[in-house]
Amino acid sequence: MFKFEADGYVPFITRAVKATEGEVRFDVALRPGLATPVTVLLPDGRPASGADVGLVSQSARLSLVPGGFSRDNVQSGGSLLLTDSQGRFSLAPDDSITQVIAANAQGYAEASPSALAAEPTLTLQPWGRLEGTYLSGGEGVADRELLFQYGQGTFNTVSANFKAYQAKTDSDGRFAFSKVPPGKHRLVRVITDKSTGTSSWSNDHPLMEVVIRPGETTVVTIGGSNYCVVVRLKWPAELDPGTNAHVFASIRNTPWITPPPDALNNPQALAAWRALPEVKADLANRRYYVSTQKADGTWVADDVLPGSYMMTVSMVQQMPTEAGESKTLAKVEVPLTVPADPPTGKLDLGEILLQSVP
C-alpha cells in the first residue's frame, strides 16, 4: 500500500499492490481535514510530557514494552509520536487510525479517534501486574516460557513486545509480569524446540484470557483443572527419526475457518473478514496444544480443556535450504475427546503408529 499525506488534508491510502502487478496507476485526491490537538495527563492530572503516543492502523507495527513503545525501527513512519512539554500532540485526520495509545513509566491509556475528537484528553491509568502459578499434574512446573499477548492486536497493528513480555516459571511454577496494560489480554505458552542444536522454532500456545485492572495485581492459576494428554508414538519399521528428521505433534479443536485467498495479501480485506461475526466466534474458540517429548519417550500435551479434538503427528525430513521444502515421511491423525467430568486428570491414548507417506 502507498500513503499520501499533506498538512491540513486527510491522508489517502491506496489498495495493496502485488509485486507481480508491474506498473500501477492511482488517481490521488486529498480532501481538507483539521488535526485534533490532544492532551495526555498523568494519573495525578499533571501534563505527561515526553509520553509515547502510538497511532494504531493496519500497518503501524507498534510494539508495546513496559513503560511505553519500542523504538526498534519496526514501526511504520508516523505511527509513533511523543507529547511535548505540555503533554500535547497533534492527531491527524487519518481514517486509517483505529486506536490511539499513550504510555509512559507512570501509566497507560487508549481511546478511539472519534472519542478524542469529542473529548481531546487522555488520562493515563496506572499499569497493572500479572502473577500466577503454572500447574501440571497438580504440581508447580518449572521452566515454562510464557508470553503476555496484547488484546486482539497483531504484529502489523499493535502487539506486546516478545522479549519484554516473556517470563519463565520458577521451581515452584510461579511467574510474574510487571507493567502490563489495563484491559482484556491473553496469556500464551511459548514452546521452543532445539532438537537440531542449530535451528529452533517457537509455537504460541494459547492458555487463557486475563483481565488487568489499573494499579492492581491479577493472580491466575494455569492447569489447575485441565487434562494432560499422553501418547506413545511408533514409526514404520523402515523409518527412524534421527538427526535428519523431526516429529511434530499437536492437538487442535474442530477445523478452523480460513480467510479467502484474495484477502491474504490485502490488510483491509483481511480486517473485514476478521470482523465477521462467525469468524470472530471461530477465532475466540480456537484451541491449539503442542505435544512435547518427555524423558521417558512419551509425548504430552498439558492444560487441554474439555472438548473434541484431532491429534496430528508428522515426521518431517529436514532438508538443506538449497534443496527446497522439507518432506513429510509419515503422518497420522487421531480423533480424541477430553471429558468434562472429572475436571482434571490424564488421558492416555496408548501407542499410535504413524503411516508412511508415499
More confident site: 279 or 137: 279
Hey, which of 24-38, 51-65, 69-83, 198-212 has the most confident mean pLDDT?
51-65
Q: Return the minimum-mean-pLDDT range out of 152-166, 280-294, 331-345.
A: 280-294
Note the pLDDT of residue 200. Answer: 44
CATH topology of domain 35-123: Immunoglobulin-like (2.60.40)
Which SS3 state, helix, strand or coil, does residue 15 take? coil
**Do the domains spanning 128-222 and 227-356 agree at the CATH topology level?**
yes
Q: Give burial (CB, 10 Å; 0-12/13-18/19+) of 288.
A: middle
- For the stretch 216-225, pLDDT in tens is 999 999 887 6
Average pLDDT of the residues in 180-191: 91
- What average pLDDT is seen over the chain? 86
Does residue 249 surpass a pLDDT of 50?
Answer: yes
Within 8 A by CB and 6+ apart from 11, the residues are 3, 4, 5, 30, 92, 94, 95, 96
Does residue 137 surpass a pLDDT of 80?
Answer: no
Does residue 197 surpass a pLDDT of 60?
Answer: no
CATH topology of domain 227-356: Immunoglobulin-like (2.60.40)
- For the stretch 315-345, pLDDT in tens is 888 765 555 677 888 999 999 999 988 888 8
Note the pLDDT of residue 196. Answer: 45
Note the pLDDT of residue 183. Answer: 96
More confident site: 51 or 268: 51
DSSP letters spanning 164-231: TTEEE--TTSEEEEEEEPSEEEEEEEEEEE-TTSS--EEEEEEEEEEEE-TT-EEEEEESSS-EEEEE
Angle between helices 267-274 and 277-285 (to 10 degrees): 80
pTM here is: 0.70
Residue 264's CB is within 10 A of a number of other CB atoms, namely 13
Does residue 194 surpass a pLDDT of 60?
Answer: no
Domain ranges of the chain: 35-123, 128-222, 227-356
Q: Return the minimum-mean-pLDDT range out of 176-185, 232-241, 343-352.
A: 232-241
For the domain spanning 128-222, the CATH number is 2.60.40.10
Note the pLDDT of residue 207. Answer: 79
Note the pLDDT of residue 75. Answer: 64
Cα–Cα distance, 296 to 306 (Å, whole number): 26
More confident site: 70 or 73: 70
Q: Give burial (CB, 10 Å; 0-12/13-18/19+) of 312.
A: middle
Note the pLDDT of residue 82. Answer: 95
Average pLDDT of the residues in 240-250: 77
Cα–Cα distance, 155 to 2 (Å, whole number): 19
Note the pLDDT of residue 193. Answer: 59
Average pLDDT of the residues in 114-125: 96
